[in-house]
């Protein structure tokens, strides 16, 4: 027997009656769910959460910061020096704005 579970998350929207679109809160949630893949692996991949970004994100808050690419140097588990370019604060990018506008303009 094979068991496949998809979309084990829920997206709840409550506009408190202040929506600027002619949709119910449930319809807004459905549109957002079709745009954003909220599976844990997809979130991890989209924001590069396996990258060494946590020192910068731990100080002064992690929202409202400028996205930038920095070079990080650290020791690998084997003791070798590793250098890699890392994007800090990728969740601050506005790369989904057009997708959201398109979804709600229809």
Q: How many alpha carbons lie under 13 Å from residue 85 in its C-beta half-sphere?
A: 3
Is the pLDDT at 103 greater than 90? The verdict is yes
pLDDT classification of 74: cutoffs 50, 70, 90: confident
Q: Percent of the chain at pLDDT above 90?
A: 50
User: Positive or negative CA dihedral for 59, 60, 63, 69?
Assistant: negative
Give the tens place of pLDDT for each residue, 81-100: 999 999 999 999 999 999 99
Dist CA 25 CA 31 (whole Å): 10
Q: Binning pLDDT at 50, 70 and 90, where does residue 54 land?
A: confident
State the pTM of this model. Answer: 0.70
- In the chain, where are the structural domains located? 25-105
| pLDDT given for residue 24 in this prediction | 95
């Amino acid at each position: 027997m094979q068991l496949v579970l998809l979309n084990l998350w829920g997206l709840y929207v409550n506009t408190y009656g202040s929506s600027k679109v002619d949709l119910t809160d449930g319809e807004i949630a459905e549109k957002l769910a079709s745009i954003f893949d909220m599976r844990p692996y997809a979130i991890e991949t989209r924001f590069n959460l396996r990258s060494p970004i946590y020192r910068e994100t731990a100080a002064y808050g992690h929202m409202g910061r400028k996205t930038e690419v920095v070079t990080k140097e650290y020791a690998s588990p084997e003791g070798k020096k590793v250098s890699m370019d890392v994007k800090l604060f990728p969740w601050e990018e506005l790369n989904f704005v057009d997708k959201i506008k398109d979804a709600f303009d229809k």
